[in-house]
Amino acid sequence: MTDSPASRDRIAALDGLRGIAVSWVIISHANMSFGPLPGWKLLASGWMGVDIFFALSGYLITGILLDTRESRGYFKNFYARRALRIFPLYWGFLALALFVLPATRFGELAQLEHQPWPAVSSLFLYYYNIWAAFAQHGVSGLQHFWTLCIEEQFYLIWPMIVRCTPAQRIGRVCVLGALLSMLARLMAMHLLGPPFAWDVTPSRLDALFLGAWAASARRDPELWARTVRAAKLVLPAGTLVLVALSQHLEWLHPWSAENFKYGISIVALASTAAVVQLVDGRGVFARVCELRILRMLGARSYAMYVLQNVVIFPLASLAPSFGAWSASEPGRTALAWSCVMIAYLAAELSFWLYERPFLRLKRLFDEPAG
């Protein structure tokens, strides 16, 4: 295993992939609020953007862990930097959503003050995905936070596994973890029901583990070369399969039996192949993801994801005031893309006015940029 210097550099195309993922997620949620958009069957499958995020996160965070596993400040640096990156915006927005936004009376946001405290505590303590599975419903306006809980639960434990596992065995652990996650999803679907197959962490770790496997492979030149060659086949093949399946929406409906059996696994593989191709840096796909607009969106993707409903719900409430245009296909399309761009502007404001002081503290904890 080798630590490539290139692995420590920020890869612009990965920011572009983040931009694609967050746009896809927001547009799919806007699709539910404004009505079907052109190509709506594929756009309605925006949950795939979440698995792209998982694969990206698995690759980048595991790379950091592998590069710093021998350092004395391994745990302190990792958890401190992640806390400074994640918690201020997350907890700040929860406070805003629970105590300020209900006064706006925009759509589902008006219901947040009526949520039971078990739901509220699950959000603040990052076990909301588990609460939602048992409750059989989500918290209005914050349903999408289940994905953030899965990541934080994973990264609570994963650094310990990376530190304690011999470097040459990390890849095997990742493959085993991905396979067990697929099995857990199938078992949860049959024994407990769709909410447990969709929301609960063991059922949704395959993309994270596959991304982590790619990070491990990146540090073995021979294995990485084989991985890049395989990704060139997996990505187009997986994309074609998903486009074909999207024409039969029941196959890619989040809670369909077919999706639990095949769809999520295919998306996890294709997402990891996309990450590998972009790290390799060659081809048309890499050049597309290096477009400045996508990199700009990707750099603010976390805040855009968190803040999206503050944009979507008010626009959905205001849409009828725009007249018949808002119900037309061009109008719905313009409103959906407006959600993406307004969410980006909100994320920029969040960065410069709120997040930046916390993020600057990360320099106190020496770790490779990620």
pLDDT at 108: 65
Nearest to 108 by CA among 346, 312, 323: 312
Range with the lowest mean pLDDT among 112-126, 156-170, 186-200, 249-263?
249-263
Which one has a higher pLDDT value, 367 or 258? 258
Query: 183-212, pLDDT tens digit by residue?
Result: 999 999 999 999 999 999 999 999 999 999
pLDDT at 246: 66
Nearest to 54 by CA among 174, 234, 184: 174
Domain definitions of the chain by residue range = 5-364
Alpha carbon distance 100, 212 (integer Å): 38
pLDDT at 282: 85
Its pTM stands at 0.93
Query: 98-107, pLDDT tens digit by residue?
Result: 778 777 766 5
Alpha carbon distance 29, 33 (integer Å): 7
CB 175 within 8 A of CB 146: no
C-alpha to C-alpha distances, 312 to 33, 231, 243, nearest whole angstrom:
8, 35, 26
CB 78 within 8 A of CB 64: yes
Per 3-state DSSP, the chain is made up of helix, strand and coil in percentages (nearest 5) of 85, 0, 15
User: Does the pLDDT of residue 164 top 70, yes or no?
Assistant: yes
